[in-house]
Amino acid sequence: MKVLVIGGAGYIGSHVAKAFLKAGHKVTVFDNLSSGLLMNIFDGEDFIPGDIRHPDDLDRAFSRGFDACVHLAAFKAVGESMVQPEKYSVNNISGTLNILNAMCAHNCRYIVFSSSAATFGSPQYLPIDEKHPLNPESYYGFTKLEIERFLAWYDKIKDIRFAALRYFNAAGYDPEGEIIGLERNPQNLLPITMEVAKGWRKELQIFGQDYDTRDGTCIRDYVHVSDLAEAHVNSLSYIDRENKSLVVNLGSEVGISVTEMTEAARRVTGKEIPARYVGRRAGDASALYATSALAKELIGWAPRYSDVDTLISSTWKVYQKYDKNPYA
Ligand code: UDP
């Protein structure tokens, strides 16, 4: 199929674009390069610079004719969304409506959307399945949930079929070593831990040690980006084959605490990784992990690279290529 990967120059998007390319699809990347990188665009992919906030850019892109699009062009910092919701409204919400409207105008019928476990909010039970109540605690999570609802309306009224993939904690890098772009100003645990291992940061701050968990630190479900990427390809096949939309959780089903992740990072990198316990971060749930049984059943998905050692070693390999922080 002809697939437009919106946000395909970013960290997750580049892995997704690679997976579609490897599966034999014709891939075009659309990205405004605000956090994406040209070095993340593969030979064999077309590139259209553009911004989802600008309907004209989308019109120009979709007029090339695509069977499907994948939408990963969102701001994703939970903390920032609680301070600057405007930014998230304009980009995540209005930008997605622009995409949906461009799809309608140009007869593109399939969309695979990066949703998030942040749509659930604090867990009422674990592991989290797709029937768990949706009660986002951050504005970021709210934008993802609203978009899922827009998608359902466009499915009903305009016959657009969608896959909403609720990622748990995306981590790791391409095991084949073909994607080596570092995220600018990363906010997530693993890249921050790598920056400490490299000596680019003095220490890792561990947010909270008084949670009701086995070691007092938060538990999360880390899932490898290449596993996530594969789920996008499988989901597009599903919605095409079944002519039916899809909402599934994507997690490794394994809960890892922040302390366990830090200790594993010390072991895998052989670096000291100084860490200090600090206060809790606003909005953090104590434990979050998924059941991915539905993804397994519907799209035949099972993580292959989401064990802790592969998550860390694939990331560390990329950081080892850099003598200094490229953004310092
Ligand atoms: N975390 C931490 N220190 C950091 C960054 C993250 O202790 O510098 C913790 C955070 O509180 C959470 C876990 O690591 O419990 C994963 O956080 P991340 O921001 O990577 O993803 P989130 O779970 O917020 O989507």
By alpha-carbon position, which residue is closest to atom 15 of ligand 1? Answer: 218
Strand boundaries in the chain, DSSP class E: 2-6, 26-31, 46-49, 68-71, 110-116, 161-167, 169-171, 204-207, 219-220, 222-224, 246-250, 256-257, 275-278
By alpha-carbon position, which residue is closest to atom 18 of ligand 1? Answer: 188
Predicted pLDDT of residue 283: 76
Q: Is 188 in the pocket of ligand 1 (CB under 6 A)?
A: yes
Ligand 1 centroid–CA 169 distance in Å is: 9
Predicted pLDDT of residue 234: 98
**pLDDT > 90? residue 140:** yes
Give the pLDDT confidence of 18-61 residue by residue, as tens digits.
999 999 999 999 999 999 999 999 999 999 999 999 999 999 99
Residue 20 contacts residue 44 (beta carbons within 8 Å): no
DSSP 131-145: TS----SSHHHHHHH
Q: What's the average model confidence in pLDDT over 60-79?
A: 96
User: Which numbered atom of ligand 1 lies nearest the CA of 192?
Assistant: 8
How would you label 217-230 residue by residue, b for 16+ Cβ within 10 Å and e otherwise? bbbbbbbbbbbbbb
pLDDT confidence bin for 282, thresholds 50/70/90? confident
Residue 168 contacts residue 222 (beta carbons within 8 Å): yes
Residue 261 contacts residue 308 (beta carbons within 8 Å): yes
Distance CA 89, CA 101 (A): 17
Ligand 1 centroid–CA 188 distance in Å is: 6
Predicted pLDDT of residue 200: 97
Predicted pLDDT of residue 204: 98
Q: Is 192 in the pocket of ligand 1 (CB under 6 A)?
A: yes
* For ligand 1, mutation pick of 80, 81, 190, 207 (most atoms within 8 Å of CB): 207
- Mean pLDDT score across all residues of the chain: 97
**pLDDT > 90? residue 215:** yes
Q: Is 207 in the pocket of ligand 1 (CB under 6 A)?
A: yes
